[in-house]
Chain A
């Protein structure tokens, strides 16, 4: 049973991650790959606060989200002033640079990772309580993003993606919209990090490397970039896949690269044969238009 719970929790966490990543790259068209580092920021923040101050998990998640959101400004403020390409490079540099810091600080457990994060609940209910929380967070994320993109804000994002110059010439502040969307997406990744930290109680810096960016990209691209439900489908599918491979009973040293190979191959195949992903982007919400 614990196995099923841990899968459910991972599904919840990855739905949050893929959906928020999709908000950034698919909906707003911002080229960043640093999503795993915001996941890490949320995880380390909430984990450290719990270890050292015994902070309650909900406050921890809020702190994780806040830290991830604020750190996102460190990338978006300088680079969005310049051009799109810059965000990409800054995001890579930020991700790897910050990981380097995490790997070297005593505080974050260095290379060995951060362990002994206290669990907020123990005992037999732990599994289903965490599953419920993770799935609720996933649902809340999807609904929040749906609310953002279907309303007036989403209309603005759409217009910005269609033609940024025309959009700006109408008086819209595209830079601010991008910074806000980026911060919201990153803060959501921070929440996912907090759930991860409290359930697994151990964080290793290696799990937030560029290869993790690849996993999240796969979920978004295969699921359907720019569609609200696509990343959900992508996350569920790509978490089910490794479980399916487990039944092949291959030695562990083959498992990880084989899985990675399948993931990346999927992305390549989808990019060329079905660029819209499994779930095509839905048309924007119809505008309620009262005929006079």
Chain B
């Protein structure tokens, strides 16, 4: 049972599975960091991105690349509409955090219902074929999907890091996340930065849904569950730290994979919540900050 080859296999598969979780967490943590918003509408963005790609592939029979672009375009349009006509109004009214929360959550639910009407509750995968070719590296089975997932996550993560570090827009993003009012005084438009942030988040959401959907069948309410993982990882990583959130997402995924060895599979789903509670009880500032403080 604790054969090193098995452990290594679990590690690799867990790492690959964490790819889309990392992408979702980065999207969630980035929005929280820059906009100070717990964006529960992300589940809606995820669902819209997936079903747009699904429709393009299965109903219009478009090639994959076109489908991905189409999914991104639709999700981006929905997200920007949500920001421009929704969040801006709430911000202008200085609404309480409760209203922001209700609005974002209800947007996700609305999207889920509309998509249920359009596509039904039958689970559907993005492509008819969800198994991908596997090869053996040493004793470890590595599928094409695994490689695509890990590769895509690394590329996108690095691109974001470089963008934040070196581009002008990226600097603006960091400035606004630091202090929106002060940044505004220096002539940085928070409005524009928020649009940019949402666009980046949409890229990550689409990439994540492409990976998830090409391996698993999706129902319109599935993204709500997936988003929750991102929320917990964000919390564990120290609210608003994007790298911390991504690291927490990897750690949580690996932990879930390894727990197969010791915990019956039907209790798997619970691990996440146990972690959430431990975090809240003992590390209210996120794990890293918690250790630093101690």
- Do the two chains touch directly in the complex (Cβ atoms below 8 Å apart)? yes
Contact of A211 among B89, B93, B95, B109 (CB under 8 A): B109
From B50-58, B68-76, B224-232, the one touching the partner chain is B224-232
Please indicate the chain B residues that have their CB under 8 angstroms from the CB of A210 in the complex: 105, 109, 224
| Residues of A within 8 A of B (CB-CB), count | 43
When A217-B106, A261-B117, A271-B102 are in contact, do A78 and B38 touch as well, CB less than 8 Å? no
Contact string against B for A residues 1-45, beta-carbon threshold 8 Å, 1 for contact and 0 otherwise: 000000000000000000000000100010101000000000000
CB–CB B228/A92 < 8 A: yes
CB–CB B235/A89 < 8 A: yes
Residue of A nearest to B266 (CB): A104
Contact of B110 among A92, A94, A261 (CB under 8 A): A261
Once the chains are docked, how many angstroms separate the CA of A260 from the CA of B116? 10
CB–CB A217/B102 < 8 A: yes
From B170-178, B249-257, B275-283, the one touching the partner chain is B275-283
Once the chains are docked, how many angstroms separate the CA of A103 from the CA of B112? 23
When A257-B116, A257-B117 are in contact, do A86 and B284 touch as well, CB less than 8 Å? yes
CB–CB A254/B109 < 8 A: no
Chief secondary structure at chain A's binding surface: helix
Residues 245 to 280 of chain B near chain A (Cβ within 8 Å):
266-267, 269-270, 272-274, 276-277, 280
CB–CB A89/B102 < 8 A: no
Chain B CB within 8 A of A90 CB:
yes
CB–CB A97/B224 < 8 A: no
Residue of B nearest to A256 (CB): B116
CB–CB A78/B280 < 8 A: yes
Please indicate the chain B residues that have their CB under 8 angstroms from the CB of A275 in the complex: 93, 95, 99
Residue of B nearest to A101 (CB): B270
Please indicate the chain B residues that have their CB under 8 angstroms from the CB of A82 in the complex: 280, 284
CB–CB A257/B113 < 8 A: yes
CB–CB B109/A260 < 8 A: yes
Chain B nearest CB from A232 CB (Å) reads 19
Please indicate the chain B residues that have their CB under 8 angstroms from the CB of A213 in the complex: 105
Once the chains are docked, how many angstroms separate the CA of A221 from the CA of B270? 31
Chain A CB within 8 A of B107 CB:
yes
CB–CB A100/B99 < 8 A: no
CB–CB B103/A268 < 8 A: yes
Once the chains are docked, how many angstroms separate the CA of A25 from the CA of B97? 11
Contact string against A for B residues 73-108, beta-carbon threshold 8 Å, 1 for contact and 0 otherwise: 000000000000010011001011111011101110
Chain B nearest CB from A142 CB (Å) reads 22
Q: Which 4 A-B pairs have the closest CB atoms?
A: A97-B273, A257-B116, A264-B110, A93-B276
Using a CB–CB distance below 8 Å, which chain B residues touch chain A?
38, 86, 89-90, 93, 95-99, 101-103, 105-107, 109-110, 112-114, 116-117, 120-121, 221, 224-225, 228, 231-232, 235, 239, 266-267, 269-270, 272-274, 276-277, 280-281, 284
Using a CB–CB distance below 8 Å, which chain A residues touch chain B?
25, 29, 31, 33, 78-79, 81-82, 84-86, 88-90, 92-94, 96-97, 100-101, 104, 210-211, 213-214, 217-218, 221, 253-254, 256-258, 260-261, 264-265, 267-268, 271-272, 275
